[in-house]
A and B are shown apart, each in its own frame.
Chain A
């Protein structure tokens, strides 16, 4: 099969979404090569803290070592190969395998082997790197966002992120104390569809008015006078915003794309209760905290950045306005896990974080009135692409109207463009051809 034939300028072959062989190649050529987001440094704030996830379906653990550095280890005993850590998060002074009790330091160094007699003639010794929990080849961090790569060679994290690092800046700079932390649990779900669909959808400005029609109309018809504990306010307003007219997306919302498949969508919100930059009094305590920490001018500059979802290909999508991060983990060609995390802005009023949680409930929860219609759409794409009627999936909207920027990226004609999809497939083709 010639992979290069599967991607054309305005469409891609359906096998990219439903061929298990191509999926296996993606694990080898994309997920085992690219910088993969592992977690946030705040998830392992103390030495001995750990967080388990996977890279290219391989179990790994992010740990904080005694010397304060963050390690990413393959979660596998150096002895007989059992997974060493079985809970997703936790804290341990040392890691001990359940099988024969081999014990590891938090950087994976083999510390002790019970009953060491019998190993005299072998190379098994505490400290021997062949028998430790191996480190993934490369680990790097940008402002608390920890990435790892299973490849020894390749672009540095800085080169890989390039201008899209400014979206991470946008998230972190909004904290009056200059730091953010993961908090509030994990909203997780599984969908029946290829992993690429969620990235394509999250910067797709055209879909909300169709896909989310039921929640948009329900929210538009909601009586505002009904007010119980206030928890529903953010959610109802967000659902209404999804109904912004297409003209608004064309006139007000932009879309930008960068090398390595990264992109972001401009913010489409004009509800002052939802957007700090619009100076609603409900943000007064936050403005004060920001201005004390950063000064008035810098505060205006930070809050004036209006981005919606940023995709860092091929693992995360995040958004600063409501401090959300989604981690996308491919399971198989037609199964994908999504983990939603919330960030707390250190130094901001706790109300901001409660709003973050409320927003997550309405957008990332598995029973969300919004998300469930997206998941249904992915399932229908999966079924639709099994037909032989048409081999091609289009990404033509806005083609030929992208403008190259001074920063090496591209700016789409408007927020309804499919530039972000074309850009992801440009990166996809590069990875797969290597």
Chain B
């Protein structure tokens, strides 16, 4: 099998920017299609959390739970999103790590800041993301997405916004 060279950083950045825009636009079904069939989405309870299995998480969704979570966000009777939040996110400091030329997997770290407004309250979330992505024939897919909030272990109020 022919080995492929490392992808261009601007293609990776473009992918992350598109993902952020999808979430700001509340195109949750489109966002879900970015994940592989075994994809996972993880927001740890502490930034250094080792694994999602023996410690609680803010979110740890396998594909099944992620589908349910997205379907709930689309449900008209979601009280916690009535009215729905508006969000604006900035993604930056994108760095590619651990490119595997055989599996075409790559880890991408980035920073984000997310402003959320709902009802009468504006909140700021910030932290880093680690995407495990794969180049398949048609583009980029997410095998896993880890989001480390700087205040993951702080006293937070309810979060419905996808980070």
**Residues of A that sit less than 8 Å from B by CB:** 183-192, 211, 213-215, 217-219, 221-223, 226-233, 235-236, 239, 337, 340, 342, 350, 353-354, 357-358, 360-362, 364-367, 369, 371-373, 375-377, 380
Question: Are B63 and A232 in contact, with the CB atoms below 8 A?
Answer: yes
CA–CA, A352 and B69, complex, Å: 24
Question: Are B77 and A217 in contact, with the CB atoms below 8 A?
Answer: yes
Q: Tally B residues with Cβ within 8 Å of A.
A: 41
Contact among B40, B63, B67, B158 with A366 in the assembled complex (CB-CB below 8 Å): B158
For B78, what are the chain A residues with a Cβ–Cβ distance below 8 Å? Answer: 214, 373
- Given known pairs A215-B72, A236-B64, A376-B80, the reply for A367 and B46 (CB within 8 Å) is no
For A361, what are the chain B residues with a Cβ–Cβ distance below 8 Å? Answer: 56-57, 59-60
Contact among B57, B71, B153, B160 with A222 in the assembled complex (CB-CB below 8 Å): B71
Closest to B120 in A: A383
For B49, what are the chain A residues with a Cβ–Cβ distance below 8 Å? Answer: 185
Cβ-based interface call for B98 (8 A): no
Question: Are B75 and A371 in contact, with the CB atoms below 8 A?
Answer: no
For B54, what are the chain A residues with a Cβ–Cβ distance below 8 Å? Answer: 183-184, 350, 353-354, 357
For B29, what are the chain A residues with a Cβ–Cβ distance below 8 Å? Answer: none
CA–CA, A183 and B54, complex, Å: 8
Question: Are B56 and A185 in contact, with the CB atoms below 8 A?
Answer: yes
CB distance from A187 to the nearest CB of B (A): 5
Question: Are A214 and B72 in contact, with the CB atoms below 8 A?
Answer: yes
Can you add 13 more A-B contacts, CB < 8 Å, to A213-B77, A229-B62, A235-B68?
A: A189-B158, A214-B78, A217-B71, A218-B72, A227-B63, A228-B64, A337-B155, A354-B53, A364-B56, A366-B159, A367-B58, A372-B159, A375-B80
Q: Give the contacts of B20-71 with A (CB-CB under 8 A).
A: 37-40, 43, 45-46, 49, 52-69, 71
Question: Are A227 and B64 in contact, with the CB atoms below 8 A?
Answer: yes
Question: Are B60 and A214 in contact, with the CB atoms below 8 A?
Answer: no
Question: Are A232 and B68 in contact, with the CB atoms below 8 A?
Answer: yes
For A337, what are the chain B residues with a Cβ–Cβ distance below 8 Å? Answer: 155
Closest to A356 in B: B56
For B43, what are the chain A residues with a Cβ–Cβ distance below 8 Å? Answer: 367
For A233, what are the chain B residues with a Cβ–Cβ distance below 8 Å? Answer: 64
10 chain-A/chain-B pairs, Cβ below 8 angstroms? A190-B155, A217-B75, A227-B64, A232-B64, A353-B54, A361-B59, A365-B56, A366-B157, A376-B82, A380-B79
Question: Are A366 and B58 in contact, with the CB atoms below 8 A?
Answer: yes
Closest to B55 in A: A185
Contact among A185, A218, A231, A373 with B62 in the assembled complex (CB-CB below 8 Å): A231
For A221, what are the chain B residues with a Cβ–Cβ distance below 8 Å? Answer: 71
Cβ-based interface call for B2 (8 A): no
- Given known pairs A184-B55, A230-B62, A373-B78, the reply for A192 and B157 (CB within 8 Å) is yes
Cβ-based interface call for B156 (8 A): yes
Contact among B62, B72, B77, B156 with A232 in the assembled complex (CB-CB below 8 Å): B62
Question: Which one of B58, B153, B155 has the highest number of Cβ atoms from chain A below 10 Å of its Cβ?
Answer: B155
**Residues of B that sit less than 8 Å from A by CB:** 37-40, 43, 45-46, 49, 52-69, 71-72, 75, 77-80, 82, 153, 155-160
Question: Are B65 and A214 in contact, with the CB atoms below 8 A?
Answer: no
Question: Are A191 and B64 in contact, with the CB atoms below 8 A?
Answer: no
- Given known pairs A228-B39, A235-B68, the reply for A342 and B61 (CB within 8 Å) is no
Closest to B66 in A: A232
Closest to A227 in B: B64
CA–CA, A12 and B42, complex, Å: 43
Closest to B61 in A: A232
- Given known pairs A223-B67, A372-B158, the reply for A214 and B75 (CB within 8 Å) is yes
CB distance from B158 to the nearest CB of A (A): 4
For B53, what are the chain A residues with a Cβ–Cβ distance below 8 Å? Answer: 231, 354, 357
CB distance from B154 to the nearest CB of A (A): 8
CB distance from A156 to the nearest CB of B (A): 33
Contact among A218, A354, A376 with B68 in the assembled complex (CB-CB below 8 Å): A218
- Given known pairs A235-B65, A375-B158, the reply for A218 and B75 (CB within 8 Å) is yes
Question: Are B156 and A231 in contact, with the CB atoms below 8 A?
Answer: no
CA–CA, A353 and B37, complex, Å: 26
Closest to B161 in A: A367
For A230, what are the chain B residues with a Cβ–Cβ distance below 8 Å? Answer: 62
Question: Are A236 and B68 in contact, with the CB atoms below 8 A?
Answer: yes
CA–CA, A189 and B82, complex, Å: 20
Closest to B160 in A: A372
For B77, what are the chain A residues with a Cβ–Cβ distance below 8 Å? Answer: 213-214, 217
For B62, what are the chain A residues with a Cβ–Cβ distance below 8 Å? Answer: 228-232
Question: Are A228 and B37 in contact, with the CB atoms below 8 A?
Answer: yes
CA–CA, A368 and B161, complex, Å: 11
- Given known pairs A185-B45, A372-B80, the reply for A340 and B56 (CB within 8 Å) is yes
Question: Are B80 and A231 in contact, with the CB atoms below 8 A?
Answer: no
Question: Are A187 and B65 in contact, with the CB atoms below 8 A?
Answer: no
Question: Are A226 and B72 in contact, with the CB atoms below 8 A?
Answer: no
- Given known pairs A189-B157, A218-B69, the reply for A229 and B40 (CB within 8 Å) is yes
Closest 5 CB pairs of A and B: A232-B65, A232-B64, A218-B72, A214-B78, A214-B75
